[in-house]
Amino acid sequence: MDAGGAGDFRTITAALEALPMYSYGRVVIFIRDGVYEESLRIDRNYVTLRGESRDGVVIRSSRPRPAWEADKDWIGPAVVNIHGDDVILERLTVENSQPDTSVHAFAVLGAGTRTILADCRLLSRGGDTVALWNYKEGMYYHSRCEFRGAVDMVCPRGWCFIRDSRFFEVRRTAAVWHAGSWNPDQKLVIRDSEFDGVPGFHLGRRHYDAQFFLIGCRFSAALADRPVYRVVYDDPARNNPDDFGDRVYFHGCLRDGGLFPWMRDNLGLAAGGPRPEDVTPAWTFGGRWDPESVRPVQVTSASVSGDSLTLTFDDRMTVRGRPVLRNRAGDRFEIVVRRYTDNDRLTFRSASGVRLRDASGEWTVENGSLIGSTASARERSVGPVFRIPPCQ
């Protein structure tokens, strides 16, 4: 798509509205450089918004939360509102352009899980710039991003892993926030990232049970000498339970001017005594999701019925093109197109009617590709050559 009209659509909204009611496989919307003055609602699963360049694609609108609360629309209070699972924003800028630093002003607000922000700029002058709030099952992965905002500019509920990113706090308030009261394992992990802001900015705070891990991060001299803290109100009825106490862990961090005592290495005190090399996305998400995996999608089982072959994979699958499989004998098996493909099984039928007894062994893919649908930092497929285990 192209704001100047050279693509299929002029606006991102029009491209999203052109999608079918349900997305059963990953859809990539490629966005050419330009400024897109709009607010978006993504309510399909498996949607990727991929920009031509991080600085060249700017999705921008002025959305102070109080104004939206006073006159609600279906889009939502953020510039980008995510209500689907496995959504990826890649190589673009999202900016809430309202100027007030004292209000919530979301750039991205989300209720889905397995959300990826990669090589993005997420900008606001208000609070809660990136607010991903699926408090039960939410898992989020961010890499090579720039975050800017006021209080709680990155404020996930659930599990979140961030690496190689930069945070800039525009007020003397807390840069990061976490809520993890639904499951004691929920955590916010930040690795190899930089923090800066106005003089005296705070690192973080919490209102609920939470867990923070900061590994290999660097902090400017502007950081205040105030540990990550729990917000406590004068009215006890407003305070949330504090079942687990303070859980804030550091390893290998640096600060211009020297570390404060509360920033010294204490990673080994976390549950399970993790080592720095253990703190990966797969560890963060308890093995339920590994967005950094480069392992090809695997065929886990196969069944043969006459001239048809049904494969089961270790991921839900997206079909691109009209894939044809070939076995070592050179027999062609064409995909059987079905309406519903949001599952982990695909069926192929012999083009010549040849009957199979055993499909195990090496196969090749032609005329298309078979892609894993689950959100991933790098696209995973079965590859041009793959193996099938012994058939059932």
Q: Which tens digit of pLDDT belongs to each residue from 62-112?
A: 999 999 999 999 999 999 999 999 999 999 999 999 999 999 999 999 999
Residues 288 and 311 reside in one and the same domain: no
Model pLDDT for residues 134-158, shown as the tens digit of each residue:
999 999 999 999 999 999 999 999 9
Which three-class secondary structure state does DSSP give residue 369?
strand
Range 327-353 average pLDDT: 87
Residue 279 included in any domain: yes
Residue 287 included in any domain: yes
Model pLDDT for residues 117-139, shown as the tens digit of each residue:
999 999 999 999 999 999 999 99
Percent of the chain at pLDDT > 90 equals: 88
For residue 358, the model assigns a pLDDT of 81
Residues 382 and 306 reside in one and the same domain: yes
Range 1-25 average pLDDT: 83
Confidence of residue 209 (pLDDT cuts 50, 70, 90): very high
For residue 22, the model assigns a pLDDT of 77
Confidence of residue 338 (pLDDT cuts 50, 70, 90): confident
Percent of the chain at pLDDT > 70 equals: 97
Q: How far apart are CA 30 and CA 51, in angstroms?
A: 6
Residues 280 and 303 reside in one and the same domain: no
Burial label for 217, CB within 10 Å (0-12, 13-18, 19+), is buried
Residue 41 included in any domain: no
Residue 59 included in any domain: no
Residues 278 and 329 reside in one and the same domain: no
263, 292, 321: which is the final residue of a domain? 292
Residues 220 and 161 reside in one and the same domain: yes
Find out whether 151 and 171 touch, Cβ atoms under 8 Å: yes
Region at 294 (left for phi over 0; alpha for psi -120 to 50; beta for the rest): alpha
Find out whether 76 and 102 touch, Cβ atoms under 8 Å: no
20 pLDDT exceeds 90?
no
Residues 285 and 303 reside in one and the same domain: no
Q: How far apart are CA 370 and CA 161, in angstroms?
A: 27
Confidence of residue 340 (pLDDT cuts 50, 70, 90): low
pTM: 0.95
Residue 274 included in any domain: yes
Find out whether 184 and 209 touch, Cβ atoms under 8 Å: yes
- Say which residue, 50 or 354, is predicted with more confidence: 50
Range 290-311 average pLDDT: 94
- Joined together, the tokens standing for residue 353 give 């009617």
Residue 282 included in any domain: yes
Q: How far apart are CA 198 and CA 10, in angstroms?
A: 38
264, 292, 320: which is the final residue of a domain? 292
The region of weakest confidence among 194-198, 221-225, 356-360 is: 356-360
Residues 212 and 344 reside in one and the same domain: no
For residue 2, the model assigns a pLDDT of 64
Residues 173 and 285 reside in one and the same domain: yes
Residues spanned by the domain of 248? 151-292
Residues 362 and 341 reside in one and the same domain: yes
Range 370-388 average pLDDT: 96
Residues 361 and 249 reside in one and the same domain: no
392 pLDDT exceeds 80?
no
Residue 118 included in any domain: no
What is the number of structural domains in the chain? 2
Q: How far apart are CA 77 and CA 80, in angstroms?
A: 8
For residue 156, the model assigns a pLDDT of 98
Residues 200 and 332 reside in one and the same domain: no
Residue 246 included in any domain: yes
Model pLDDT for residues 244-288, shown as the tens digit of each residue:
999 999 999 999 999 999 999 999 999 999 999 999 999 999 999
